[in-house]
Structure 1
């Protein structure tokens, strides 16, 4: 089995740990990962969960091991990219993870370090960039392109031909209509439906004007 150290020891790392545990119960799994430890700058995070492997110390002083791979388990976009690059400079090898319960089109492409969670749907000709997290129950429509270091919360839905840049955060239940383009560094808040393009470093949050129609019986 491929030995793995998870970077981070908070809630997101706990979810990855569970994904790997369940993956290893599948007879036809192709991942075959063994979590050998967790690194985090705050050991309190580790103490909050029942992890399968020991705490190995903080990230900053961690001595990279040549015989293991690393998996990014920190959700905060402010830290993910810097930590990944720092560890790669030290010689770390990162791996991707695709849960066996995900539906992955044979024509899709998935970058190194990406995580594809359970019940994800990746349609034909989809492209998922490096170190992008595609959370549980996300659906990425045909011919959609998602760049590096994005974080897609659960239930995010991209319609066909969506193009997403780098380092964007999509809140839970957010979605796009077909053909939308999103730049870099944006925060799309929970429940937002993008019906127009988004530029750079924007926060998308608005309230819908609803019309309530009461029908008397």
Structure 2
């Protein structure tokens, strides 16, 4: 018997949230239940904004069967916020979805954590491991035995060779390439087209070919805004 679609709510009704929603809409076994957002009161799609991003309110909506699971539509400007919300909502008993677009290839040996989102055109090879709340934009290639730490985001077209280790809260910019057996510590960012041929042993931004390290900025993170979601 055919199972009913999974009703997924998305934290964030902005650009990233709408992109996640569009991929869900393309898949018959998924349904967008709505959004939670601090700034938008309506969505550009057909689905409603269910409320603000308050842990108790989201948990209450789940308890009232307004949705079955969650995804996070918060982008790379607020990696700490991604982690905070994931951990607090998980602790409140709200389950996270695990979405793989049908146009992606995921080897049967791969391991995916809760909250993972794999966009179309991605390839996950033998023994790849994605920890919780990892987001892969379209066209990412992750080769064998590579592990990506929790709450990290890979922009379109990132290529990771075999046995790469990516730490938590990393953001790899569009077209980044990491050669085999490299290690990236937590809170690493890369500029578009960066090529990492050595380990990234310190937090901060890496740019260029081969990539060079720019020290972590002392400036405070961008404040939350409508574009944050």
TM range (shorter): 0.7 to 0.9
Residue 95 of structure 2 is matched in structure 1 by: 93
**Which runs of no fewer than 5 residues in structure 2 stay unpaired?**
211-229
- Divergent runs of 4+, >6 A: none
**Structure having the higher Rg:** 1
Residue 17 of structure 1 is matched in structure 2 by: 21
Residue 71 of structure 1 is matched in structure 2 by: 71
Q: Deviations over 1:64-105 (max 9, x none)?
A: 113321111111313101111222233211111000000111
Q: Secondary structure at the match of 1:70?
A: strand
Residue 35 of structure 1 is matched in structure 2 by: 32
Distance 1:100 1:187 in 2: 28
Residue 126 of structure 1 is matched in structure 2 by: 128
Change (3 A) 1:78 1:160: same
Q: Secondary structure at the match of 1:23?
A: coil
Residue 7 of structure 2 is matched in structure 1 by: 3
Change (3 A) 1:77 1:99: same
Q: Confirm or deny: 8 A CA contact 1:17 1:52 kept in the other structure.
A: no
Distance 1:125 1:82 in 2: 28
1:207 CA displacement: 6.2
Deviates further, 63-72 or 170-179: 63-72
Distance 1:63 1:10 in 2: 18
Q: Let me know the Cα RMSD of the aligned residues.
A: 1.8
Residue 52 of structure 1 is matched in structure 2 by: 46
**Which runs of no fewer than 5 residues in structure 1 stay unpaired?**
25-31, 209-217
1:165 CA displacement: 1.3
Higher relative contact order (CA 8 A, sep 6+): 2
Residue 181 of structure 2 is matched in structure 1 by: 179
Distance 2:180 2:33 in 1: 42
Q: TM-score normalized by structure 2?
A: 0.82
Residue 28 of structure 1 is matched in structure 2 by: none
1:63 CA displacement: 3.7
Equivalent residue pairs, number: 199
Distance 1:52 1:150 in 2: 29
Q: TM-score normalized by structure 1?
A: 0.86
Q: Confirm or deny: 8 A CA contact 1:35 1:52 kept in the other structure.
A: no
- After superposition, where does 1:143-158 map in structure 2 within 5 Å? 143-158=145-160
Distance 2:178 2:139 in 1: 15
Distance 1:207 1:164 in 2: 19
